[in-house]
Structures are given as structure tokens and as C-alpha cells.
Amino acid sequence: MAARSPATPAPMTRKSGEREGEMGVEMSPCYNLCMPTFTVRTPGAEYPCVVERGAIGQADLHLPPKSGKIFVVTTEDVWDLHGPKLRDALGKRAFHPLFFPGGEERKRIAEVEDLADQMLAQGADRSSLVVAFGGGIVGDLGGFLAAIFMRGVPVIQVPTTLLAQVDAAVGGKTGANLRGGKNLVGAFHQPRAVLIDPAVLTTLPEREYRAGLYEVLKTGIIRSRRLFEIMALDWRRVLALEPHVVDDIVAESVRIKAEVVSADEKEGDLRRILNFGHTIGHALEAETAYSRLLHGEAVSFGMRAATHLSLRLGALDAGTHGRIIECIGAYGPIPSLAGVRAEALVARLGSDKKTIQGRVHFVLAEGIGATRIVSGVDEEIVLEATARSLAELAPAA
């Protein structure tokens, strides 16, 4: 995807400070009066999620008054593209970049230990602060590093991919993968702030951008008819990265994520709806050794299977089922799934962290913006939905 020059965002019809969300998430006054800030409130933390072009330049405003050394966890490609913006924002504050090699297959405990050793060697202590500056993997690992280093230091999330901006960076989930499954070790560690700059998305490869769009679509399916309709009807403008459309879908996704996390920080109830498509999607990532698909691509497959499952169990009508499947397809294709067997994916579901006391939980769509969580689904029905999804994506004979 060719890089585009950032354009001035069009004013949003819903202005900052206009109203307070039903879950206690308020839209606070923002810097340029065009784009919003959403406040996440949990029992142990309160922090802003700033959605604004140029938000990286606000990093210094969110540093603790007596913070010590700053450690920026990032990848070399992100640092080459966007590092100067963060360097300028931090001004005269000394900081230490910590480079992570990147890739889902490297999202392991060994990498966290290596980053912690680097922090210690450079004089980190309990007053230190971590800035997670990159995509979802960097955010997860950087947040986990902050959660466990000396039993916890502050972290600021500065996401640079669409998937990280609309999902991974908001909500305090951190973690690393095990061979047996995704994010099976981790901690809830809420950031001091999340700084979301939609302008950086113009530098993403097309595949990476499309992968993030699946998380946006998921958010529309589970919680926002308006967002779903944008994704379904304006997909050409979404794919063309039209600035005001991108700003709108990012802001709406962050609003919903902040609202859900404020109501249910640790996934005891409502937050589980965010896992739509993730149960089978995580199984697909593990089955392909975290090397064939991007996370959003695996979620797209999982959403396809979850939508078929919703229809099969009578939760979803045929017309809405067709619209969801069509919209998922509009943002494809995803890499070939040749050699992946439905039986192998279903066999992995028992290792998913959403499996509780041996019962696999699924988020079903009941309509656009409505969901239901079920468990105890007959394995043959899950197998049927998974096999149907694989067949739909198989190359034509």
C-alpha cells in the first residue's frame, strides 16, 4: 500500500465532551476539538485513550512527575519510521530504546526476560517507565515487561498498527505465547495512557492494514450497527485510507473498547464479547505455528466460523448471517489454509484460555450489535462450522 500524506481530519459530528457513555466512559475535551479522548475507568486505574493525528507528540504530557529512566520497547522498522516523532516528544528526557525482533513466533517468555535483563543492565529501577511503541505484539510484550519488572512499573501504550490501535493497546491485557496456545501467560496491567495517531497507518503494508480491519469489523458486529454499516457499505473508502473515514472507525472502535473495559476489566462477563472469532482464530494461529497468518487474518477465519456456528445454533437469521460473511470477504483474501484440518483446530480448543473447567465458550452473533455467550456446544456442530469455513476459503478446483 503506497504511503499517503496525512490530511486534516474532517470534524466529527459527535464532538469531544458532548456526552458521557452509558458505561461511564466520557468523551473528554481534546486538543484540536475535532477528535476525541476516551477515559477508561477501572477499580485500580483511570487513563485517557487519545485518538488524534499527531498524538505521539503528546507522550511527554503523560509521564509521571517523578519518573525515572524511560525504556522504549519497539522494533527497528517502527523506530526508523516513527522514532523521530517520539524522540521529539520526549524532548530532553533521556530514554533507552529496547529493540524486539518482532513476529508472533518470537512473542515468548524468553524475549521478555531478555528485555528485562537489558533494562537492569541500563540501571532501571522501580521509578522507571516503559513505552510500548509498535504493533500488538510489542504492546503485549512491552506491557507484560512493565507488569512484572520489579513487580510492576508504569507503561504508556503508543500503538502504530491498526489492530493495536483499535484493540490490543486498550484494556491492560498483556502476555506472551506458549507452544500450546496464544497469550497463555500474562497479566492485566493498565497503562498510564494510550496515544493513538491514525496518521501512522498510512505507512503500514496493505496486508497489515487489512488485518487490523477485521478487528474493527468484529467491534461493529458485537456492539455497533453504525460501525458495521460503515465497514459493509463504505469498504472502498475504508481500504483507500480516506482520512476522515479511518479516523471515524478508529475512534468508534476505541470508544467501544474503552466502554467495555470500564464495565468489566478482567473479563468476568461483558468483556468476553470481545472474543468473537478469537476462540477458533487462536486455534488456527497455534495450528499454523504462528507463522502463516497475522492475528487479524486468523480472527477473520474465526469470525467466519463463529458466524456459521451462530446460524447453526439458531442465534442468527440467514439474512444477517449472509451480510456478515459477505463483509468478512470484502477485506480478504487471507493466506492459503491448505493442509489445515478442521479436526485439528477443534482439538486445540481445549487449550484456549477461554476454556473453563473443560467447557469451551463461544461468542455467538445474535444480530448486528448483539451477542450471546454459550458453552457446551456439541463438538460435531463446531466441527461442521469450522469445516464449512475451510471449504469456503479453499481454492476452486
User: How do residues 312-342 score in pLDDT, each as one tens digit?
Assistant: 999 999 999 999 999 999 999 999 999 999 9
Dump pLDDT digits (tens) for 132-190: 999 999 999 999 999 999 999 999 999 999 999 999 999 999 999 998 888 999 999 99
* pLDDT value of position 357: 63
For the question of residue 177 being annotated catalytic, the response is no
Confidence of residue 2 (pLDDT cuts 50, 70, 90): very low
Mean pLDDT of 53-74: 95
The pair phi, psi for residue 315, each rounded to 5°, is -80, -25
* pLDDT value of position 196: 98
Q: Report which residue type is found at 162.
A: L
173-178 and 181-188: which strand pairing? antiparallel
Dump pLDDT digits (tens) for 106-116: 999 999 999 99
For the question of residue 321 being annotated catalytic, the response is no
Q: Which residues contact 244 (CB under 8 A, 6 or more apart)?
A: 9, 10
Dump pLDDT digits (tens) for 206-239: 999 999 999 999 999 999 999 999 999 999 999 9
Q: Average pLDDT, whole number, for the chain?
A: 90
Dump pLDDT digits (tens) for 25-35: 343 333 344 56
* Domain covering 27-203+232-263, topology: Rossmann fold (3.40.50)
95-99 and 155-159: which strand pairing? unpaired
Q: Which of 192, 271, 292, 354 is catalytic?
A: 271
**Of the candidates 51, 77, 50, 54, the residue with the CA atom closest to the CA atom of residue 204:** 77
Buried b (16+ CB within 10 A) or exposed e, 118-133: bbeeeebeeebbbbbb
User: For residue 41, is pLDDT > 80?
Assistant: yes
> pTM for this structure?
0.89
* pLDDT value of position 272: 95
Superfamily of chain region 276-393: Dehydroquinate synthase-like - alpha domain (1.20.1090.10)
For the question of residue 282 being annotated catalytic, the response is yes
Q: What residues pair up with 27 in beta bridges, in sequence order?
A: 38
**Residue boundaries of the structural domains of the chain:** 27-203+232-263, 276-393
The Cβ-side half-sphere exposure at 135, using a 13 Å CA radius, reads 26
Q: Which of 257, 292, 304, 348 is catalytic?
A: 257
For the question of residue 173 being annotated catalytic, the response is yes
Dump pLDDT digits (tens) for 328-384: 999 999 999 999 999 999 999 987 656 666 789 999 999 999 999 999 999 999 999
For the question of residue 275 being annotated catalytic, the response is yes
For the question of residue 76 being annotated catalytic, the response is no
CA distance 279 to 72: 31
Say whether 105 sits in a helix, a strand or coil. Answer: helix
For the question of residue 359 being annotated catalytic, the response is no
